[in-house]
Amino acid sequence: MIILGIDPGSLKAGYGVIELQGRKMTYLASGVLKFDSKLELIDRLGPIHESAVDLIERYSPDEISFESLIYVKSVTSLAKLAQARGAMLAAFMQSHQKKVFEYSPNLVKSTVTGHGHATKESVDKAVSMLFGKREFATHDESDALAIAACHALNRNAQKKLGTQTQKSFGSKRTLKQVFSRGFEK
């Protein structure tokens, strides 16, 4: 199974692609999509949408995981992030309806580092431990890989966008717990 992780943004967005085979996660690709900061947000939404379509065509993911909206310092920043995220979601939902999942930043951090308020550097280190030593262009890239890994480890207990599964987020597990017990089937 190919999982695409997305750390959305209106100026840049991180992506991470991993393969999940049984209990093994393998790094396939990652990077940062950059959008022209000279353009107004409304004019960046088309390229944001197109870049999401390109990711689907390039990597053919089976499932897509997203970071959910978070509280930011300004309403303007939140509105821009929400619109960019919406442009990407619109692209992904055309071909991956009921296969797009979202995770809170704290759950992502908790899953990969064991601490929900971990620093960006801690997430980088945990992702490097999972997928081998890597130099990341930005924290967006390592965050996207962390989001993909979070989905791989929590996918059976996840709330899909627009629907509710039987299990709650109370069954989330850390990497230590997963590797000591294995994945749920």
Residues with active-site annotation: 7, 67, 140
Query: Hey, is 33 helix, strand or coil?
Result: strand
Q: How many CB atoms lie within 10 A of CB 22?
A: 8
Residue 70 tokens read as: 């978070």
Query: Among positive and negative, which fits the CA dihedral 93, 53, 13, 131?
Result: positive
> 2-181: which CATH architecture?
2-Layer Sandwich (3.30)
DSSP states of 61-92 as a string?
Answer: -SEEEEEPP---S-HHHHHHHHHHHHHHHHHH
The Cα 97–Cα 46 span in angstroms is 20
pLDDT of residue 97: 84
Sheet hosting strand 63-67, strand order edge to edge: 24-34, 12-21, 2-7, 63-67, 100-103
Per-residue pLDDT of the chain (185 residues; tens, 9 = 90+): 999 999 999 999 999 999 999 889 999 999 999 999 999 999 999 999 999 999 999 999 999 999 988 767 788 888 999 999 999 999 999 899 889 999 999 999 999 998 888 888 999 999 999 998 888 889 999 999 999 999 999 987 754 444 433 233 334 445 444 444 444 44
Residue 150 tokens read as: 């979070």
What residues does each domain of the chain span?
A: 2-181
